[in-house]
Amino acid sequence: MADLSRQSKPLFPIGVVQELTELSARQIRYYEDQGLIKPERTETKRRLYSFNDVDRLLTTKEYLDKGLNIAGIRHLLDETVVREAVVPEIDKKDMTDGELYKLLKNQLKEAGRPGKTSLIQGELGRFFK
């Protein structure tokens, strides 16, 4: 099974997500209403959350702590999804050092987050001679 499908697989009930994120059930449902997450529903209409949903909730919580509003967070999260879909299409060998520097800088901002693997590991060597 690919990493992407593992990250997207709905596994967690809301109680587990509350423990992982330290958010209330009401907050989690509010973020769902705002379109920040889209949990799957079982046949009995219970919500099940994926690792990606938990990651988005933690990111949302972090951005709220920094003072961003929900609309800004939604924009940033949507932009991240688009960027992650486009970046694998970039041929690193055809990049200039400046383009690679910008890509590395963006990835360093995301470093250490669950599910965020660097697509250009090893390319830092181009800057150190």
pLDDT reported for residue 7: 78
Contacts 24+ apart (CB under 8 A), 47-50: 47/13, 47/14, 48/10, 48/11, 48/12, 48/13, 49/10, 49/11, 49/12, 49/13, 49/14, 49/16, 49/17, 50/7, 50/8, 50/9, 50/10, 50/11, 50/12
Distance CA 116, CA 64 (A): 20
Which one is predicted more confidently, 123 or 73? 73
pLDDT at 106 over 70: yes
- Give 114's contacts (C-beta < 8 A, 6+ positions apart): 51, 54, 55, 58
pLDDT at 88 over 70: no
pLDDT at 47 over 50: yes
Taking only the tens place, the pLDDT of each residue in 16-34 is: 999 999 999 999 999 999 9
The alpha carbon of 33 is separated from its chain's Cα centroid by a whole number of angstroms, namely 18
**Domains plus CATH for the chain?**
1-89 (1.10.1660.10), 91-129 (no CATH)
pLDDT reported for residue 22: 93
DSSP state, residue 84: H
Helix (H) or strand (E) run with residue 22 in it: none
Cα→Cα distances 35→55, 88, 90, 111, Å: 14, 25, 29, 25
